[in-house]
Amino acid sequence: MVIASWEDARRLARRRLPKIFFDYIDGAAFSEQTARANVDDYDHWLLNQRVLAGHAQRDSSTAYLGKTRPLPFMLGPVGFSGLFAPQGEIQAARAAHAAGIPFCLSNFGITSLEDLRKATDGPIWFQLYVMRDRSLSELFMARAEAAGVEALCVTVDTSVGGVRDRDIRNGFRSASRLTPRIALGLLARPMWCLRIAAGGPLRIGNLRDQPQYGRRVLEQASKLTGELDPSTNWEDMKRIRQRWKGRLVIKGILAAEDALRCAELGADAIVVSNHGGRQLDCSPSTVSVLPEIVAAVGERLDVLIDGGVRRGSHVVKALALGARGVLLGRAYAYALGAAGEKGVTQLIEAIATEIDVCIGHMGLARADELYRRRSEVLRRHAAPGP
Ligand SMILES: Cc1cc2nc3c(=O)[nH]c(=O)nc-3n(C[C@H](O)[C@H](O)[C@H](O)COP(=O)(O)O)c2cc1C
């Protein structure tokens, strides 16, 4: 089946993945309101159509972290992607790199930094969580350095845990071993079992030399989740800034005041993110706070955004509201679960085509004109009538 859009990918992923993993991707905190708002709030903006602009060739490239990227979106960190497809992180990274865009490996990735680096030579970012055991964070940073990552992306919105009803029901990350119930759920998707079993035992790759966190993925996941440090504060971020000599991205910013603190401590970029609505339900959607954050720090660092980005039109709106680049989350996770590298490639192509078609219909030659010309190209959706 061809993946023409994220909806195709989601449908197929639901059929192919065990429920525990589909729900892990698809679910969010509490009533999942913020996750829905992330997508729906893009509808508050419309794109102005202009005709006869005569741009036979259009350019979707944008620049962030000092480099021009052929497309304005990249693949953000998604934990446990190796559960959605065998060597899932490698498959997704290869699809990203074939399109010339960065891939960010999650701290909770199944593939290790070293194996990912061996498998593909495109731009890799490494996403770090601050752990109670600071020596573990230090070890991850040293390995990220050795792997030559383009940026360290520190996620700061998880020091307080997210409560996701679906994960609680399914026992994901609370069960530290395969219970009969989880095993039955996995066996309901025999093709998934065969595909994943062929890759050998599942582990969090970057913990392979840390036996105290266990040897199997469920045990490691539950122990590592317990290691996220609830006392993480701005002093920790300052220390990381001093320690990390390369590009530093801080992910999980929703308030202009916090964005300013990131700029003050010398971050190179922030990701306006609410973790896809997976942490604090009822927090604002990312697109709704983007303009005020861009107004506060847009001249001082690169403002990136994620959350609810499913279509090329969402990317175009985010750029017109001042984002320098966009990270995909669920959209590519569904595609990976649906059809591995091929699925991610098709999804990237679909979104790239949509961006090109949007800017073409808007009478623009270049995606990087969107923000400068925002007053011409964007309009607010009129409030619904009585
Ligand atoms: C299944 C899943 C796992 C995730 N794992 C991580 C992670 O390990 N680290 C991280 O910083 N963000 C993680 N995120 C959050 C994403 O990076 C991103 O912020 C979010 O998915 C964006 O929202 P969207 O899915 O609506 O596009 C995860 C998201 C999903 C859906």
Q: Which protein residue has the closest C-alpha to ligand 1 atom 20?
A: 276
Cα angle value 96/99/104 (rounded, 5°): 25
* Kind and range of the H or E run holding 145: helix 134-146
Establish if 100 belongs to a structural domain: yes
Establish if 1 belongs to a structural domain: no
* Kind and range of the H or E run holding 172: none
Residue 259: its pLDDT value, please? 98
For residue 360, the CA-to-ligand 1 centroid distance in Å is: 30
Pocket test for ligand 1, best of 24, 330, 348 (most atoms within 8 A of CB): 330
Establish if 374 belongs to a structural domain: yes
Burial class from Cβ neighbours inside 10 Å (0-12, 13-18, 19+) for residue 99 reads buried
Q: Which protein residue has the closest C-alpha to ligand 1 atom 15?
A: 275
| DSSP class per residue in 110-128 | SS-HHHHHHH--S-EEEEE
Residue ranges making up the domain that contains 200? 6-380
For residue 376, the CA-to-ligand 1 centroid distance in Å is: 33
Residue 160: its pLDDT value, please? 85
For residue 28, the CA-to-ligand 1 centroid distance in Å is: 10
Report the alpha-carbon distance of residue 340 to residue 328 in Å, rounded: 16
Longest dimension (CA), the chain: 64
Residue 173: its pLDDT value, please? 74
Establish if 385 belongs to a structural domain: no
For residue 111, the CA-to-ligand 1 centroid distance in Å is: 16
Residue 162: its pLDDT value, please? 85
- Domain containing 332 — which CATH number? 3.20.20.70
Residues belonging to the active site: 275
Q: Are strands 103-105 and 302-306 parallel, antiparallel or unpaired?
A: unpaired
Q: Which protein residue has the closest C-alpha to ligand 1 atom 28?
A: 78
Cα angle value 252/254/256 (rounded, 5°): 125
- The ranges of the chain with pLDDT < 70 are 383-386
| DSSP class per residue in 174-230 | T-SS--HHHHHHHHTSHHHHHHHHTT-S---GGGTT-GGG-SSHHHHHHHHHHTB-T
Burial class from Cβ neighbours inside 10 Å (0-12, 13-18, 19+) for residue 143 reads middle
Residue 216: its pLDDT value, please? 86
Establish if 371 belongs to a structural domain: yes
* Tokens standing for residue 68: 């021009």
Residues with CB under 6 A from ligand 1: 24-25, 38, 76-79, 106-108, 127, 155, 251, 273, 275-276, 306-309, 328-331, 333
Ligand 1, atom nearest to 331 Cα: 27
Q: How many domains does the chain have?
A: 1
Establish if 386 belongs to a structural domain: no
Residue 385: its pLDDT value, please? 53
Burial class from Cβ neighbours inside 10 Å (0-12, 13-18, 19+) for residue 224 reads buried
Secondary structure of residue 340 in the 3-state scheme: helix
Establish if 348 belongs to a structural domain: yes
Ligand 1, atom nearest to 273 Cα: 19
**Phi, psi of 99, deg, nearest 5:** -90, 0
CB 109 within 8 A of CB 360: no
For residue 200, the CA-to-ligand 1 centroid distance in Å is: 25
